[in-house]
Structure 1
Amino acid sequence: MRSEDSNTPWWERRTTMVLLTLIAFVPLLWPDIPPMVDLPGHMGRYRIQLDLATSPFLKQWYSFDWALIGNLGVDLLIEPLHWLGLGLEPSVKLIVMTIPPLTVAGFLLVAREVHGRVPPTAMFALPLAFNFPFIFGFVNFALSMALAFIAFGLWLRMARTGHLRLRAIVFVPISCAVWVTHAFGWGTLGVLAFSAELIRALDRGDRFVRACFRAGINCLPLTPPMVLMLVWRGQDPTAQTGDWFNWQAKISWFAMVLRDRWLICDMLSLAVLIIVMLEALRDKRLTFSRNLAISALFLLAVFIILPRIVFGSAYADMRLAPFMVAVALIAIRPRPETDLRFRRSVAVVAALFMVLRLGANTASFWLFDRAYDRELAALDHVPRGARMMSYVGKDCVTPWMMHRFEHMPGLAIVRREAFSNDQWVAAGAQLVRTHFPTGWRYSRDPSQIVTGPRCRGEVWWPLNRSLAHLPRERFDYVWLIAPRRHDPRLMEGMTEIWRQGSSSLWRIDSRAAPAAAADYPIPPRIIRVR
């Protein structure tokens, strides 16, 4: 690897890489709670995890049992920060805002190891640290992917320096740590490492079959988590895996890799990345690293094969899409004989793209943070230990700019030790269990999501129907968050104690069902569970 001197281009210098990593902190500096779709629900789980033993309220409705599963990244990191007295919300912010810089560092480390220097084209990949799965709030997954890329950079470096025996030793615990963070990161690390070892074996002159065998042998240090995986998934053999080869969804996931707030901005940004990849195929001044090109093709194959639901977890294939694109971009480099002027031009355009993209993310998070503050003012009027039924309005067709309120009810657990009906219940995937004396329609995700009309193919109830059959004797408050139009007669027997726009908070005064409930019967095909 080339050492730095005064003639080293600015984009190849270590100081530039440090700066690029630090810039990734900026978008999440302002929000006190990172405005991500699922994160508030996870924060509710963290509060249960930390305070269940000491909270007389939470122990009425929830239980929490530690288990070794491949989905514990942030859950484990919360523990030492809580012990240090940092507080739950600051701890979550600190951990989450660190994930994009770690992802950027992983991308840059891989680029430097593969190319011997950081090519200017690598900066096009850096905004993918703020990818849609991250914004969706898959924080354990996002953290594991960041760690996977850092680990892959170390894997390549130890191969380059000839420390293969040491690598075989240290990657046993590293692979287990990545798996515990989230199993998806471990799987991605295995795909990247295998493709790199395959290319290394082919470069040594091995035939393809022998090269595959040698690559598999070299990747054995990454296999111990397979035992953990078998034990973990054996705890819930009924977990669903399905929705294979949904081509419409896969095309949509690719289009959404940078989805944030503004459709035109996000699609133009994706168009820039596609143009860069196409230019690398057309322009003779650019080329691809065989190592990472093969890795990108392997990830593409996995993306195609993966179903939408794996072991009960949705959006499995969607999560891989942005990292597949990132690897393809990191694989691009100018040819050695390319003149410095061209490389400088590429570096300026890439840096400008990165700054504009991160600027858009920063503005988006700031605007969402203002919306969060407005909605969360309702919790100032809720007593500690309240039993809350929360309803979050949703359309049958989700707009590009998701309001990210779907799991906001989880913050009632965080701030008021209240019951919230948004917690997930997935055997083997969640450590929290809900023991609230109603059926799932009023006790767990997705009971908090309600619509105006009935949505075909969805389990969400219309708000009117859910309000009409709400078991009022079980709840103290109803929290309506950006609801769709509903029948005001269904609020009979409740007192409004807070309102902000269409959102409102109601105290249940009468346990009797409203007279208008008869106008919203449950269709026979819908089984009502109590």
Structure 2
Amino acid sequence: MFRRRTPAVEPVAGWWNSRWLLALLVLVAAVPLILPETPPLIDLMGHMGRYRIELADPASPLRTTFFSFRWALIANLGIDLLIVPMSAIFGLELGVKLIVMAIPMITVAGMLGVARELHGRVPPFAYFALPLAYSYPFQWGFANFVLSMGLALCLWALWLRLTRLGRFRLRAALFVPLGMALYICHIFGWAVLALVAFASEVQRRRETGADWIPSIWHGGWACLPLAPPLILMVLWRSGDVKGGNADWFYWRAKWVYMLSALRNHDRTIDTFSIWLLFGLIGAGVLRAGTRLSRTGAIAALLLLIAYIGLPRILLSSAYADMRLAPYVVMMALLAMAPRTSSRTITQVLAVLGIAFYLFRLGVTTVNFERIDRLHAEQLRAIEHIKPDSRVFVMVELRCLSAWDSSRMEHLGAMAIVRRGAFVNGQWTAAGAQLLTIKYAPAKGFAEDPTQILRPGRCRSRRATRYPDKLFSLPHNAFDYVWLIDMPRRKWLAFEGLTPVWNGGERGILYRVTGPATAAIETPNGSETLSTR
């Protein structure tokens, strides 16, 4: 198995794998993110709050009173580092937007580069993989993760190219610093690069007729330039990050994560799309008119094994296995090429693949524009928040099982970005974050997920509840209470809280004006409030 050399039959050449088209496919990957003021990704706005704290004047209340930020060498620093020069040139919000816009382009470029190195030319099946640049982990806003995975694909393409050219010394010299940089961006990207590079080296030795044991030994030695981050990982893990692995082999969730690889907004469209990709992969496995790159097939198999073996929580990061699911699908598609030499059939497959890519980009563009409008309506509340204020946020959300999402979990952090305010909801995992919360008066009302409200049927027993949480709110610790996307029927007249803004039908901002005693359980819709 995997011994014979991959047939030296390149995919048929034509306009569909010309350089101008490949460059265009990379550029259009950014289209869905052009119009939204802020990329509408679930966690991204929480990260932007952290970037604002990172860049703040050390003498500002953000750093002296509310938060503590201390640089440390952790394997999750991609945009945290990039935003330093980008914000100096473009400002924080535009700088983040430009970086995030670049991530799908980097990912598409990496996919096309890998496909070209595996097959000699880009085969049409690779175009069906391109929509995975906007996979569910990207929609969640796992920014450093998806950046590192896009870079990992580009670096693997470079690894394969240098291997094909026989430039082994240059490869070793380049990948020592490149591997270190990728590890610092995010540990996942480095681990995946090491895994797929190992797969390619094992298969290269197998093609010479070597048995499995010598091939595996050779693969390990060949990947030594990627090993230095292991030293950094030992140092990191010997610090504060000592636990945080949980939820192993939850099979039902793993299947749902696979089905959610292209999850965006419309369940019917998204599930049809992923089943289409599953069907193509099935044709590849059965060799139904397709051939497989053995290097790509081994890489896909190793990623699948890693996906199965990963827990849901790894190194204090949630959804570790879910993050890898789209890349298993992606790698399987990149390993495939048509068996036929027919120009007509190949051209039809290419047109269908490109059409699928453009269709998915269109769906994403429309959804992002819709979410951006909803976010803009709620963000008008920030105009009524004074700089350096203290804001307690609660966000009305649907159950996690709902396919669609308002993506407002961390919308309140934009008050940190635009007003330098203290806002609850930042992550505080020991050793996994550069930021800690030091504003003692807000204890118990400060960290994630105190801002999240979900329906009773799907929330945990310890989850934040409304209006119960506001009954015990320490009024001396906050200046405002911001109920994001809260429907009008739930607006209440709280003693000590004065409404100063509402969003018409959803969302209301209160100013803290006195001590809390009780809540009057009636809608507070009669007062004239700003709805700007």
TM-score normalised per structure 2 = 0.93
In 1, Cα distance between the equivalents of 2:297 and 2:124? 17
Q: 1:267 aligns with which of 268, 271, 274?
A: 271
Q: Residues 243 and 316 of structure 2 are in contact (CA less than 8 Å); yes or no, is this contact kept in structure 1?
A: yes
1:347-371 Cα deviation digits (max 9, x unpaired): 1111111110111011111111111
Distance 1:284 1:253, change over 3 A: closer
Q: 1:403 aligns with which of 403, 406, 409?
A: 406
1:230-249 Cα deviation digits (max 9, x unpaired): 11121124431111001111
Distance 1:124 1:396, change over 3 A: closer
1:72 aligns with 2:81: no
Distance 1:333 1:458, change over 3 A: farther
1:146 aligns with 2:150: yes
SS in 2 for 1:355: helix
TM-score normalised per structure 1 = 0.93
How far residue 440 of structure 1 moved from its aligned partner, in angstroms, is 4.8
1:477-520 Cα deviation digits (max 9, x unpaired): 00001236886556222111111122110011112332669xxx
Q: Which segment is superposed worse, 387-396 or 342-351? A: 387-396
Q: Residues 26 and 109 of structure 2 are in contact (CA less than 8 Å); yes or no, is this contact kept in structure 1?
A: yes
**What 5-or-longer segments of structure 2 have no aligned partner?**
1-7, 522-532
Q: Residues 41 and 407 of structure 1 are in contact (CA less than 8 Å); yes or no, is this contact kept in structure 2?
A: yes
Distance 1:231 1:80, change over 3 A: same
Q: Tell me the residue number matched to 2:417.
A: 414
Q: Residues 38 and 138 of structure 1 are in contact (CA less than 8 Å); yes or no, is this contact kept in structure 2?
A: yes
Q: Tell me the residue number matched to 2:308.
A: 304
In 2, Cα distance between the equivalents of 1:230 and 1:80? 29
How far residue 271 of structure 1 moved from its aligned partner, in angstroms, is 1.4
Q: Tell me the residue number matched to 2:432.
A: 429
How far residue 141 of structure 1 moved from its aligned partner, in angstroms, is 0.4
Q: 1:178 aligns with which of 173, 176, 182?
A: 182
Distance 1:215 1:397, change over 3 A: closer
Q: Tell me the residue number matched to 2:34.
A: 29
Aligned pairs, how many? 512
In 1, Cα distance between the equivalents of 2:57 and 2:145? 25
Q: 2:469 aligns with which of 462, 466, 470?
A: 466
Q: 2:292 aligns with which of 271, 283, 288?
A: 288
Q: Which segment is superposed worse, 146-155 or 507-516? A: 507-516
In 2, Cα distance between the equivalents of 1:255 and 1:458? 28
Q: 1:48 aligns with which of 50, 53, 61?
A: 53
Q: Tell me the residue number matched to 1:342.
A: 345
Q: 1:91 aligns with which of 92, 95, 102?
A: 95
Q: Residues 395 and 452 of structure 1 are in contact (CA less than 8 Å); yes or no, is this contact kept in structure 2?
A: yes
How far residue 87 of structure 1 moved from its aligned partner, in angstroms, is 0.6
1:227 aligns with 2:231: yes
1:127-176 Cα deviation digits (max 9, x unpaired): 00000101100000010001100000000001000001111111000000
Following TM superposition, where does structure 1 have runs of at least 4 consecutive aligned residues deviating by more than 6 angstroms?
A: 484-487
Q: Residues 464 and 490 of structure 1 are in contact (CA less than 8 Å); yes or no, is this contact kept in structure 2?
A: no
How far residue 454 of structure 1 moved from its aligned partner, in angstroms, is 7.0
Q: Tell me the residue number matched to 2:25.
A: 20
Q: Tell me the residue number matched to 1:102.
A: 106
How far residue 395 of structure 1 moved from its aligned partner, in angstroms, is 3.5
Distance 1:461 1:455, change over 3 A: farther
SS in 2 for 1:463: coil
Distance 1:452 1:414, change over 3 A: same
Q: Residues 131 and 259 of structure 1 are in contact (CA less than 8 Å); yes or no, is this contact kept in structure 2?
A: yes
**What 5-or-longer segments of structure 1 have no aligned partner?**
518-530
In 2, Cα distance between the equivalents of 1:483 and 1:80? 37
1:310-343 Cα deviation digits (max 9, x unpaired): 11110000000001100000111012x5311111
SS in 2 for 1:482: strand
Q: Tell me the residue number matched to 1:60.
A: 65
1:14-72 Cα deviation digits (max 9, x unpaired): 11110110010101010110000000000000000001414235421111111111000
The aligned runs of 1:454-493 (5 Å cut-off) are 455=458, 457=460, 459-483=462-486, 491-493=494-496
Distance 1:147 1:516, change over 3 A: same
